[in-house]
Amino acid sequence: MAERSFAKEVCDLELGAGEEFRGEGILAITKALLQSGVGYVGGYQGAPISHLMDVLADGKETLARLGVQFSASASEGAAAASLAASVMYPIRGAVTFKAPVGINVASDALANLTSTGVTGGALIIIGEDYGEGSSIMQERSHSFAMKSQMWLLDPRPNLESIVRAVEEGFELSEASNTPVMLEVRIRACHVHGSFIAKDNKPPPFTLRQALENPVRDTDRVVLPPASYAHERDKVDRRWPAAVKFIKERKLNEVFDGDLADVGVIVQGGMYNGAIRALERLGLADVWGATRVPIYCMNVTYPLVDDEIVEFCASKKAVLIVEEGQPDHIEQAVNTILRRRDVNAKIHGKGDLPMAGEYTADVMLKGVRAFMASTLPGALSDKVRAPNVPAIHDDPRVKALTGTVPPRPPGFCTGCPERPIFAAIKLVEKEIGNHHIAGDIGCHLFASLPPFSVGATTMGYGLGPASNAAFNVKTDKKSIAIMGDGGFWHNGLTSSIGNAVYNRHDGVIVIVDNFYSSATGGQDILSSRANIEDRSTQHPIAKAVEGVGATWVRQLDRTYDVAKMRDTLKEALSTNTPGPKVIVASSECMLNKQRREKPLFNKAVKGGARLVRERFGVDEDVCTGDHACIRLSGCPSLSVKRSDDPLKDDPVAAIDNTCVGCGNCGEVAEAAVLCPSFYRADIIHNPTGFDRFVAGLRASIIGFLQRRRARRRVAFT
C-alpha cells in the first residue's frame, strides 16, 4: 500500500476539453500524458516522483479504458528498457524515476535507446532531487543528457508550462527521433495550480497492433557499423531537427523589460526563484512583470545558439542562473557568444555559488550582486546594501536554533528495523566491532546515533556487493545490510548471486518489512498483500536459496531481540562456507498503522470491545542509566525528571506516541538492563466484567500504595 491514496484526485483525469483542471504538478503530468495519446507508461518509485507512480496505479481504470498499458517496473533500468517499444513502432511511451540515481541505474538502457533513436515519442520524466531537501548524492541530470545527446526539458514550475512540456516533449522526440528527458524538481512536482484540460486520447497505434505486425531494421540495432552511423545521425540530422522544432514552437520564452542593458538567462525550473528575487529587489511585481529582460530556457539541452545571441547582442551584461555544477550552460553560452563576437559580459558562478541549492536567500544575494556591479542605479538604497539580513540571519531564527536541538532523520516509532540494530549492538558489545556495509533504504538511518552502525553505502541493493573485497580469511566476518526493496531492485543478482558465486564468507541481513518503505510503501514481490493485477507473496528466503545460498535463516518477528542477537552470533561464528543470510521480517509499522488505525477506530466507534497495548516505565524502578534509550532510540522513549529526591538523573519515560510494539521491553530483556518496563492494556468499550476487574485491581494497588506511603521517610 502506498503512503497516500489518490482515489479521489484521479477522477479529474476524466476531465474533457475546456474544463478547468486543478491540482498539483504530479496530477497535471499524468493528465498531460493521457492528453498526448501515450500508449504505455512504466517507472520506479522514488522522491520526488513517487506519487506519480501512485497516481498511475490509482488511475488504472482510466488508463484501461484508453488502452494505456502501465507497469510498475522492477528498477529504473527495467523502466528505461521498456521504451524499446518506441524504437520500431509509432507508439508514445513514458517512464519516470528519481534522478540522478535512477538515471545511473537506467544509464545502459538510456544510452542504447539514444543511440538507436526512436520512432514514437519517448519521454523520460525525472524527479530532480537536488538541494537541501534531497536524500541522495548531489549531482545533475544535465551531464547525462549531454553525454548521450538526449534532449532535456526544464519547464517553469507552473501547471500550464509543465503540461505543455509533456505534450510538446513527445512531439520534439518524434520530430528529432530522439528520447526526451523532462526534469521536474521537488517544488514543481507538488506545486498547485490550474490549467484548461483537453480530451484524453487513446493511443493511435497500439501495442497489440505492434505485436501483430512486427518490424525489424538492423540499422537500428546498436552494433558496428550501425552504431557509428548513429553518432553521425545525432549530429547531422537529429540535433538540427531538435533545434528547428524548439525555435519554431518557441519552447523557450523571453520576458521583456525596460532595463535593456542587462538580462537574465535562467533555467525554466529556476524561473520562480529568479522572478521572486527580482520582485524583492523592486525590479519585478508579484505577477511576473519584470524590468530586467529574462530568457527562460524551458529546454536546457540542446541550447539554441540563435536565440541566445539575439537575447545577448544588445546587452552589456547577462546573469546566468544555473543551479549546481559543473556550469554546463554558462560555459556553453560563453562559447556561443565568443564565436559570434558578442561582447556581453557573462556573470553566473561567482555572483551565484558554484554548488548548492539556489534558495530564495541565495538567489536574492546573487541577483543583487549582479545588479549592483552592472546597473547599480536600478536598485533603491533599501535593497542595495549586501548586508540586508537573510532569513537565517534573523535573530529570532537564531534564537530558535539555539533552543530546538538538531533533529537528524531516524526510524519511525515502532519501526521493526530498530531491534535488528539493537541486536547488532549487543553482539558487538560481546565479540567486538565489525565492518558493516549499509544500503539504500530506511535501515541506513542506523548509521546515525544511537546505533552508529554502517560504514558505507554504494547503491540500492549493493550493500552486500560493497563488501566483496573483504572476502578474506580472518576471525571476523563482514556484515552487510540490505532491504527487501533493494533486494528485488538489484540485490538478488548483484549482491546475493555475487556472494554465492565467490563463496563470500560474510553475513548478509535482509530487512524484510513487506514493502518498498523508503520510497513510499509500495508493494513488491515479497509483499504479503493480495493484489488483483500483481503477483506477490514470493518469499525472499526461497529466492536466496534459489541462487545457491545454503546458510539461510528466516526470522518472522524482528522484535524478538534475543533471537535476533543469537542468530547473528551463530552466523558470525559458523564455519559453513559461503554467505550467511538472515531474512528478518516484520511489517513496516508506518504502513501497519495506516492499514489498522482506520479499522480499529471504526470498530471502536461501532461499540466493539478492543484492546490496545501500551508500554510504560516504572520510575521507581528505573535507575536512570538510559541504556534502554541507547539501545532502542525510539522517538516515543524519552526522559523526565524523577519525583524521587534521591535520584539526580532523569528517568526514562514513554510518551503518548507509543504504538505498543514492545521493542523497548524486548531490548531491556535481551540486554539484561532492568525490569522497569511494563505493559498496559487499554480496553475500549469495556464490559461489566472488565470494569469489575479494573476496580478490584485499583483497590488492591491503592491499598498497597497507601501502606507504602505511611512507611516512607519524608524530607521537608
pLDDT-derived band at 103 (thresholds 50, 70, 90) equals very high
Looking at residue 380, what is its pLDDT? 81
Whose cell is 538567462? That residue is 265
511: helix, strand or coil: strand
Same domain for 393 and 435?
no
**What is the DSSP code string of 241-253?**
HHHHHHHHHT-SE
Q: Is residue 9 part of a domain?
A: no
* pLDDT tens string 471-504: 888 889 999 999 999 999 989 999 999 999 999 9
> For the chain, how many structural domains are there in total?
4
Q: Quick one: average pLDDT of 590-596? A: 86
β-strand partners of 21: 195
Question: DSSP string covering 3-24, please?
Answer: SS--TTGGGGGG--TTPEEEEE
Residue 368 backbone zone (phi > 0: left; psi -120 to 50: alpha; other: beta): alpha
* pLDDT tens per residue, range 78-89: 999 999 999 999
pTM above 0.85, yes or no: yes
* Residue position matching grid coordinates 561464528: 573
- Grid cell digits, residue 531: 493484489
Which structural domain, as residue segments, surrounds residue 138? 14-248
pLDDT, mean over the chain: 90
Cα-based distances in Å from 509 to 56, 493, 552, 582:
33, 16, 10, 5
Percentage of the chain surpassing pLDDT 70? 96
Joined grid coordinates for residue 426: 549487543
The CATH number linked to 672 is 3.30.70.20
Those residues whose C-beta lies under 8 Å from the C-beta of residue 241, and which sit 6 or more positions away, are: 175, 176, 177
Which stretches within 281-349 are classed as H helix?
305-312, 328-339
Q: What is the pLDDT of residue 387?
A: 60
Residues 131-163 as b/e (b if ≥16 CB within 10 A, e otherwise) read: beebebeebbbbbbbbebbbbbbbbbbbbebbb
576 plus 704 within the same structural domain: no
Is position 164 within any domain? yes
pLDDT in tens, 621-680: 888 777 777 777 788 888 888 877 777 788 888 888 888 787 777 777 776 667 788 888
Domain shared by 422 and 378, yes or no:
no
Q: Are 453 and 305 in a shared domain?
A: no
- Decide if pLDDT at 391 tops 70: no
The pLDDT of residue 441 is: 87
Distance from C-alpha of 561 to C-alpha of 1, rounded to nearest angstrom: 27
- pLDDT for the residue 716: 61
Residue type at 339 in one-letter notation: R
The arithmetic mean of pLDDT across residues 231-249, rounded, is 97
* Residue 80 shares a structural domain with residue 134: yes
User: Within a domain: residue 6?
Assistant: no
Q: Minimal CA–CA distance to 298: which of 436, 400, 190, 180?
A: 180
For strands 551-555 and 93-99, give the pairing. Answer: unpaired
Both 586 and 612 in a single domain? no
The answer to whether residues 259 and 160 belong to one domain is no
| Cell representation of residue 671 | 540486554
Can you give the pLDDT at residue 405? Answer: 65
Q: Is residue 3 part of a domain?
A: no
Last residue of a domain, one of 248, 281, 302: 248
Assess if residue 8 is contained within a domain.
no
Confirm whether 5 is domain-assigned.
no
Supply the pLDDT for residue 384. Answer: 65
Phi first, then psi, for residue 684 (nearest 5°) are -95, 140
Nearest one of 703, 82, 665 to 418, comparing CA atoms: 665
**Residue 413 within a domain:** no
- In this structure, are 45 and 183 located in the same domain? yes
For residue 412, tell me if it sits in a domain: no
| Range 601-612 average pLDDT | 91
Confidence of residue 7 (pLDDT cuts 50, 70, 90): confident
